[in-house]
Structure 1
Amino acid sequence: MTEMLDLIREAAKVLPATEERDAGEATVFAVEGNDFARIIGDSVTVRGDDGWTAIDADSDPAAIEDAVAHAWELAAPRALLEAGGR
């Protein structure tokens, strides 16, 4: 799972106002206090159009980066998106 955490971390750190925090058993990525990605053990979920969506660790790295970016867009405040977002 370290590879997945590293991939999620790399994808998230280029997104404006992203914060990473340890939430007990989970590593959480948020934008201005709104969670958009969670890693708990071997499970990775990102915010999706219809709630939280699991990401398969065997997914293509580009697809994972896109899912993280989309999750960030769903969680980011309007003002941040209007200022240029990603």
Structure 2
Amino acid sequence: MTDMLDHIREAVKVLPATEERDAGEATVFSVEGNDFVRIVGDSTTVRGDDGWMEIDADSDPVAVEDAVAHAWELAAPRGLLEAGGR
């Protein structure tokens, strides 16, 4: 989990208004209170167009960053997106 968690942490650094929190066995990233990434054990899920989707730990790092950014865009409030987003 550490490699993926570190990669996610790097990816969210450029995304405004993000917060990381410990939710028991999960690490959750949110924007303005809306979750967009959840990491539980070796499983990483991101908010997607049709619900939550899993990201494979062996995925291309750029694809992971794109999935995280898209998940953020889906979770971010309109005003934050209109202010410039990422």
Shorter-chain TM-score tier: over 0.9
**Amino acid in structure 1 at the alignment position of 2:15:** L
% identical aligned pairs: 86
What is the CA–CA distance in structure 2 between the aligned matches of 1:64 and 1:9, rounded to whole Å? 11
Instruction: Report what 2:41 is aligned to.
Output: 41
What is the CA–CA distance in structure 1 between the aligned matches of 2:81 and 2:14, rounded to whole Å? 14
What is the CA–CA distance in structure 2 between the aligned matches of 1:20 and 1:13, rounded to whole Å? 11
Instruction: Report what 1:52 is aligned to.
Output: 52
Task: Give the unaligned 5+ runs of structure 2.
Answer: none
TM-score, normalised relative to structure 2: 0.99
* Segments ≥4 residues shifted beyond 2 Å: none
Task: Give the unaligned 5+ runs of structure 1.
Answer: none
Describe the superposition over 1:12-45 as per-residue Cα deviations: whole angstroms up to 9, x where unpaired: 1210000000000000000000000000000000
TM-score, normalised relative to structure 1: 0.99
